[in-house]
Amino acid sequence: MSERDDRAKTPDRSEDLKDFDRRLSEKIARHREKTQPETETSNAWSVSVKYGSGFAGGVLVGTALGWAADKFFDIAPWGMLVGVILGFAAGLRNIMREAAAANAENAATAETTGCETGAMPGSDATKED
């Protein structure tokens, strides 16, 4: 028997391999879709927690400093009142600073993706007429 006869008897596996590769790629894609976190929801949640904790932190630190001033200088309740007001202002400042940073990041992302500011990639605002 010659080498040419052996090749003729061996079935062609390239179609089987292509089919296997296609099915494997589809399965991997379905698995990734199932396991990927919902970035839009988790991103909104993390932003809201960041803003809330920044504000609460400012108020709590202001209140604590006001309470310490009351105890140290014996000026109750004025130290705590001033501390709460300053803490409220510091909390608002934290929120404004974080929102400005998020807005700048959003504008930079929109610039690189060609979206309008505030539009998500793939939305109607990104499509040209």
Task: Express each pLDDT in 15-52 by its tens digit.
Answer: 888 888 889 898 888 887 777 665 566 677 888 898 99
Rg (CA), the chain: 31
Highest-confidence segment of 4-8, 23-27, 55-59, 124-128:
55-59
Is 30 among the domain residues? no
Q: Which two three-digit tokens encode residue 49?
A: 């927690």
Is 37 among the domain residues? no
pLDDT of residue 17: 84
Q: For tokens 């010659």, what's the residue?
A: 2
The phi, psi pair for 83, rounded to 5°, reads -60, -40
- pLDDT band at residue 64 using 50, 70 and 90 as cut-offs: very high
Is 62 among the domain residues? yes
pLDDT of residue 21: 87
pLDDT of residue 55: 94
How far is residue 8 from each of residues 2, 16, 127, measured CA to CA in Å?
10, 17, 54
Domain tally, the chain: 1
pTM over 0.75? The answer is: no
Mean of all residue pLDDT scores within the chain? 80
Q: Which two three-digit tokens encode residue 89?
A: 């202002």
Is 104 among the domain residues? yes
Is 85 among the domain residues? yes
The Cα diameter of the chain in Å comes to: 109
pLDDT of residue 37: 60
pLDDT beyond 90 at 68: yes
pLDDT beyond 70 at 5: no
Cα distance from N-terminal residue to C-terminal residue, the chain: 68
Domain hosting 54: range is 48-114
- pLDDT band at residue 129 using 50, 70 and 90 as cut-offs: very low
Q: Is the CB of residue 84 less than 8 Å from the CB of residue 97?
A: no
Q: Following DSSP, what letter does each residue of 60-95 receive, concatenated?
A: HHHHHHHHHHHHHHT-TTHHHHHHHHHHHHHHHHHH
